[in-house]
C-alpha cells in the first residue's frame, strides 16, 4: 500500500488492513495506546540507512571521507550509540553534547567541537576528555584555547571555521556562511588570513584543517561547489606560511523532504559535486588528498522521525479558517513558529482518506503563532483522530521546551515490529525536579 505523501515518511512507512499507518512494522495507534500522545517515533531502518548512504556515497567518490553526525539535529545516548555503531564520528556544539556523545559510546577522538562562543569551562572539559578536534571560531577562542593547551603542556588539534561569503539561499535565520554572520572568520574582512597565521604560530595548537558551513537546509548543489572551490583557492598561498591541509570540511546542511513536491537532491548528488570539486581543485592546487569531513545532521535523523498527535478541539470560522487543535505544538516543534517551516500531515487512523478541505493544525500552547501547519489540505478530521507529521526527527525534539509546563513527549525507536523507548515521557515531577521551594 502506498499513500500520497509517503516520500516524506520513513522508508518503512506503510498502512495495514485497518487503514492505519505503520512504522517499522508497528501500527502507530498501538504505539500511542502504549506510550501516550504526543509521541515521537524514530524508524531505525531509516536512521541506519541514512548513515550508510552517507558513508557509501561519499567514500565511493572520495575514498578519504569522514562522516560526522551533527548532534544538534537531535542526540541522546541511544542516537549517539546508533551513529557510533554505524561508524560515524560526531559534531558537537556544547559541553552537554560532548557528555551525551561520550555516554553513548562515542570515542572522544572522533568528536569535532563547533560553536561561536565555547565557554572556558567547555574548553577545559574538551581538553580533559581529549576531544579530537576543536573548531576555532573567533580570536577570543584562539587565544584562550592556545593558552589552556600551553598551560597543560599539550598540543590540541584544531580546525578554523572560515566564512566564505556564499549564500546557499535558505532561510535567513539558518544561513551561516555569509559576511553578516556571527559564525567564523570572514575571508572578506581579512580576519581569516590573520587567524590562519596566528594559529600556525601557536605551538600548542596544530592546525589540522579548515572548515566552513553554509547553512541549512540547502536544496541546491551549486553553493557547495562554489564554496569548496573558493576556499581551497583562497588557502593555496598559505602553504608558504606552513599550512598543511590534512582535513577539509564543507560542513552539513543537506536538505530533506518536508513537502512531497519539494524533495531535495539525493545524497549521491551532493557527494558527487563535493567530491568532484575537492578532487579537481586539490589536485590543481597541490593539496594532495586531504580528508573530507562532512557533517550531516538533519539528513540523518529528519526523515526517520514522525510526530504523532491527537486531535482535540476543532474551531471552524466560516469563510475564514478551520483550526484543528493538536495535543502538542511549539513546545515539541518550534520550527514553524521560528522559521515558517512547512510540514505535511496524515490522518494516521485513516491513511487512505482523501483530502477534501484546507485546515490549519494548531498546537495547544498559549501563543497565536503556535501553528504546526498552516492551510494544509486534509481529509475531514474529527476529535480523537491521530495525526502523523513526517520529517519531524531533526531540530524538533532538540529544540523542545517545557513552555506552559507541558511535559515533553516520549520517544520510541521502532524496527521489525519491535519498539523500544529511547526517552520516556516527562512527568510533572520532572518539571519541578530542579526547582527549590
Ligand atoms: C548545524 C551544523 C551542521 C549540520 O547541519 P544539518 O543541516 O543538520 O546537516 C553541520 N556542521 C555545523 C558546523 C553546524 O553548525
Beta bridge partners of 160: 136, 210
- Look up 366 and say whether it is catalytic: yes
Residue 394 near residue 74, CB atoms below 8 Å: yes
Measured CA to CA in angstroms, residue 414 lies from 9, 344, 385, 418 at distances of 14, 21, 22, 6
What does the mean pLDDT of the chain come to?
96
- Taking Cα atoms as reference points, which of 94, 174, 107, 101 lies closest to residue 135? 94
Measured CA to CA in angstroms, residue 85 lies from 91, 262, 298 at distances of 15, 32, 19
* Residue 225 CB contacts under 8 Å (≥ 6 apart), including other chains: 273, 274, 276, 277
User: C-alpha cell of 236?
Assistant: 593555496
What value does the mean pLDDT take over residues 217-244? 96
Catalytic residue among 4, 354, 366, 421: 366
Does any ligand 1 atom lie closer than 6 A to the CB of residue 297? Answer: yes
Domain 45-298, CATH among 3.20.20.10, 3.40.50.2300, 3.40.50.850, 3.90.1150.10: 3.20.20.10
Select the more confidently predicted residue: 220 or 178: 220
Does any ligand 1 atom lie closer than 6 A to the CB of residue 20? Answer: no
Does any ligand 1 atom lie closer than 6 A to the CB of residue 177? Answer: no
Return d(Cα 35, Cα 424) in angstroms, integer.
Answer: 8
CATH 2.40.37.10 domain extents, the chain: 14-36+304-432
Ligand 1 mean position, distance from CA 310 (Å): 32
Has residue 363 got a pLDDT over 70? yes
What value does the mean pLDDT take over residues 371-378? 97
Q: How confident is the model at residue 179, as a pLDDT?
A: 82
What value does the mean pLDDT take over residues 320-341? 97
- Taking Cα atoms as reference points, which of 40, 10, 66 lies closest to residue 423? 40
Return d(Cα 175, Cα 275) in angstroms, integer.
Answer: 23
What is the tens place of the pLDDT at every residue in 334-362? 999 999 999 999 999 999 999 999 999 99
Helices (H), 313-387: 335-339
Ligand 1 mean position, distance from CA 249 (Å): 11
CATH top-level class of 14-36+304-432: mainly beta
Ligand 1 mean position, distance from CA 133 (Å): 16
Q: How confident is the model at residue 1, as a pLDDT?
A: 56
User: C-alpha cell of 383?
Assistant: 476529535
Amino acid at each position: 500500500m502506498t499513500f500520497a505523501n509517503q516520500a516524506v515518511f520513513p522508508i518503512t512507512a506503510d498502512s495495514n488492513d485497518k487503514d492505519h499507518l505503520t512504522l517499522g512494522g508497528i501500527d502507530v495507534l498501538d504505539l500511542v495506546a502504549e506510550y501516550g500522545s504526543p509521541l515521537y517515533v524514530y524508524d531505525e531502518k531509516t536512521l541506519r540507512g541514512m548513515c550508510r548512504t552517507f558513508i557509501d556515497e561519499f567514500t565511493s567518490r572520495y575514498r578519504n571521507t569522514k562522516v560526522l553526525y551533527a548532534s544538534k539535529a537531535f542526540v541522546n545516548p541511544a542516537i549517539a550509540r546508533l551513529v557510533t555503531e554505524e561508524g560515524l564520528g560526531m559534531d558537537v556544539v556544547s559541553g552537554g553534547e560532548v557528555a551525551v556523545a561520550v555516554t553513548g559510546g562515542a570515542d572522544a577522538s572522533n568528536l569535532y567541537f563547533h560553536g561561536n562562543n565555547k565557554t572556558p569551562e567547555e574548553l577545559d572539559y574538551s581538553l580533559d576528555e581529549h576531544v579530537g578536534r576543536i573548531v576555532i571560531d573567533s580570536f577570543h577562542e584562539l587565544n584562550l584555547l592556545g593558552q589552556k593547551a600551553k598551560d597543560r603542556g599539550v598540543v590540541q588539534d584544531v580546525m578554523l571555521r572560515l566564512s566564505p561569503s556564499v549564500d546557499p539561499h535558505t532561510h535567513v535565520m539558518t544561513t551561516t556562511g555569509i559576511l553578516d554572520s556571527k559564525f567564523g572568520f570572514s575571508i572578506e574582512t581579512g580576519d581569516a588570513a590573520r587567524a590562519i597565521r596566528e594559529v600556525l604560530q601557536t605551538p600548542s595548537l596544530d592546525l589540522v584543517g579548515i572548515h566552513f558551513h553554509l547553512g541549512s537546509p540547502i536544496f541546491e548543489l551549486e553553493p557547495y561547489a562554489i564554496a569548496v572551490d573558493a576556499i581551497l583557492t583562497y588557502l593555496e598561498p598559505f602553504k608558504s606560511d606552513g599550512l598543511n591541509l590534512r582535513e577539509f570540511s564543507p560542513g552539513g546542511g543537506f536538505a530533506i523532504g518536508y513537502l512531497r513536491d519539494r524533495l531535495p537532491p539525493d545524497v549521491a548528488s551532493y557527494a558527487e559535486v563535493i567530491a568532484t570539486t575537492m578532487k579537481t581543485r586539490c589536485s590543481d592546487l597541490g593539496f594532495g588528498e586531504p580528508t573530507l569531513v562532512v557533517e550531516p545532521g538533519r539528513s540523518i535523523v529528519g526523515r526517520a522521525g514522525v510526530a504523532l498527535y491527537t486531535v482535540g478541539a476543532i474551531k471552524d470560522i466560516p469563510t475564514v479558517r478551520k483550526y484543528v487543535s493538536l495535543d502538542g505544538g511549539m513546545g515539541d516543534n518550534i520550527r514553524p513558529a521560528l522559521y515558517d517551516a512547512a510540514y505535511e500531515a496524515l490522518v494516521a487512523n485513516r491513511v487512505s482518506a482523501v483530502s477534501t478541505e484546507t485546515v490549519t493544525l494548531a498546537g495547544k500552547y498559549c501563543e497565536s503563532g503556535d501553528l504546526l501547519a498552516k492551510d494544509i489540505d486534509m481529509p475531514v478530521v474529527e476529535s480523537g483522530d491521530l495525526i502523523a507529521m513526517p520529517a519531524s526527527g531533526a531540530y524538533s525534539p532538540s529544540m523542545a521546551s517545557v513552555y506552559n509546563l507541558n511535559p515533553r513527549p516520549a520517544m520510541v525507536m521502532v524496527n521489525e515490529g519491535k519498539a523500544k523507548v529511547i526517552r520516556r515521557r516527562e512527568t510533572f515531577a520532572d518539571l519541578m525536579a530542579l526547582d527549590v521551594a
